[in-house]
Structure 1
Amino acid sequence: MKALCWEGVNEVAVEQVPDPQLLNAQDAIVRVRRSVTCGSDLHLLGGYIPFMKQGDVLGHEFLGEVVEVGSEVRKHKVGDRVVVCSFVSCGRCWFCEQGLFSCCDNGNTNPAITETLWGFAPGGCYGYSHALGGLAGSHAEYIRVPFADQGAFAVPDGVSDERALFASDAAPTGWMGADMAGIRPDDVVAVWGCGGVGQMAARAAMLLGAGRVIVIDRFDYRLQMAERVLGVETLNYERTDVGAELLERSGGRGPDVCIEAVGMEAHSPGPQFIYDQIKQQLRIESDRSIAVRDAIYNCRKGGSVFILGVFGGLVDKFPLGAVMNKGLTIRSAQQHGQRYIPMLLERMARDELITEHLATHVMPLSEAPRGYDLFKNKKEDCVRAVFTP
């Protein structure tokens, strides 16, 4: 079959790779109908997560049709249209029983790397390096889905592929950030990052009752999309004093909840960006935490900060003094999608959650290298590139 493979730093190509096979009784094979780029994939392309091997298949956000099931699969049959959570979890370990699905003890079959890096291994993630299981990704014609009864979800008949696709990762990730940040009615919420996850976090905040939702980014086309489709307030940090604006819009206190949806390659117009970029390129630090720092500094005293962006290792100049002395609550996680996806599909069916606007560029899998070029380099106002094998 054809698949988009990682060939080296900033090099991808569509290659012929072996068809997936059932390896366990709880597996399913899914024919991919839609697969989409994600900002966290760019960390893999750039070499910032150094556990990729040449020929690894990329992609973790997808929707498709079941074509084969293992003998112990009970919830799905051949022909079912399913959206699959990007994180693999068994549904039976202690962490899954607590609803901490991305912390699953059994989803990552190659835990040694992350046990060394972080003390414990999280679950596995499709197409996201050998640190998270070495699983083949979704930018392919077919994909093996382990623990299919836990990770695959039937799509309601009235929900289009284009909408349901984002229930795989962007929507549950954004919803998790808003939910676990503890948003209360009438809260002022600030979201750093206006890509797919940031927009979904903003929409979730609105549906959870926030009084004001303010999204911060530097790309006008993304900010205008969020204003037009979601009805949120926006700030361009290259043109505005974000701190002053957030104080003005929150009664002088600062936002009650700050959600960081940028990750390890955050940008800033100030000298801190040059400092962090040089240290990252020299591998003196692994991640640029500029957006996290901004969220911490601007959050009100006693407020909540949720880190949604992907980070891989160590950061410099982390403002621990601000966290402690302001009495902030800091939370973070990879997405516990199995907790949220059924509810999100129901909201999609009721038109409460609209996501298809994120798919600004739809193209055949054969054009996936061009799609990643558009997505990575912000060409043609690309928010997300979707591939149709």
Structure 2
Amino acid sequence: MDTPTYDIVISGAGPAGSALALILAGKSPRPERIALLGRQFHAGRHQDGGVDPRTLALNHGSRVLLEQLNSWPAESASIDTVHVSQRGRLGRALITHDELGVPRLGSVVTYDALLAAQHQALRQSGVTLLEAASTPLPGPGHVLFQHEGRDLSGSVAIQSDGARPQGIERHYKQHAVLATVRASRPRKGWAFERFTRQGPLAALPHPQQDDVYGIVWCCAPEDAARLQALPDHEFETALHRMFGDRLGRFQCLAERHVFPLALHAGPSLISDRTVAIGNAAQTLHPVAGQGLNLGLRDAAQLGQALAPWLARPHTDPSPLLARFAGMRRPDRWLTAGITDFLPRAFSTGNPLVEHAGGLALLALDLAPFLRKPLARHLLQGLRT
């Protein structure tokens, strides 16, 4: 067999794929033999030329990883306290950074700022950056890619391009309305997760200013379309009615966007030399903001698994990739299970279930031995 063009080819230059490329570059004696394929190296723009509207809630573990990779953006907003409640029912829970012994529970960054910081670090890493999007095709002892009319090959291929995973699928019949608002009574360092019968409603501190919040409002598709089309003053009133008085009145600052919500999860190991991480392995409901955090844990553990192989890339990587897939399984499925259960349990409309949810929030608030394991999982994932 001819020598592959690259040791590792990563298809997808989003946050998870970029983080993996940076991790591997730090472990490889020849980082130029790691290729990252994507169409996003000019960060800050969609393919249609617009600015990406997403804000990302990254937990403490994710921030530590990105700081170690010199790819943390200059602007971020800290989350010190998370307030969880249920509209129309008693019971709420507070999770604070003090009780977990960390400087903050997490941070909020914009998607564009994170990607720009990662790509800046990549340009100094030695990794080969290719403006292309491609799907890997398994071959004998290597994986093939197409780039600008010619074949590329890699000993290992990683899919991180957001290709829909094949396996478990659930459509929540919810869309997420994304909005950026100013609050008249902001609470610095506080993030809010409020469960409603239509779906969870999150208010996240925004890196733009202390009184600005990123809103993620999950509701039925027809309601999402209506909320997107409302004049600003009517949307502000509707948001206040659903969220309550904790942050005062709201003022819209930007255009609203709507995204459909679904769970897609498949195996990490696609073939003996191809693995999937991030959104190519699992796309989750945005409740509790776990999607990218889980993808970054995929990247960190895959980088650790491949570190010894990078020193001997002529050897067979298949056993290491199979071991990686097995080690990631518990964290992936537990996190997917939590984010699948919560939005469905709190939106049944069944009063008994809603009261049970309120009692569960009250128990979490009163009993640290119940609250801390859940908080630690959301903070750093399931360690194996």
Specify the TM-score bucket, using the shorter chain as the normaliser.
under 0.3
Which has a greater percent of helix? 2
Which has a greater percent of strand? 2
TM-score, normalised to structure 1, is: 0.25
Q: Which has the larger radius of gyration?
A: 2
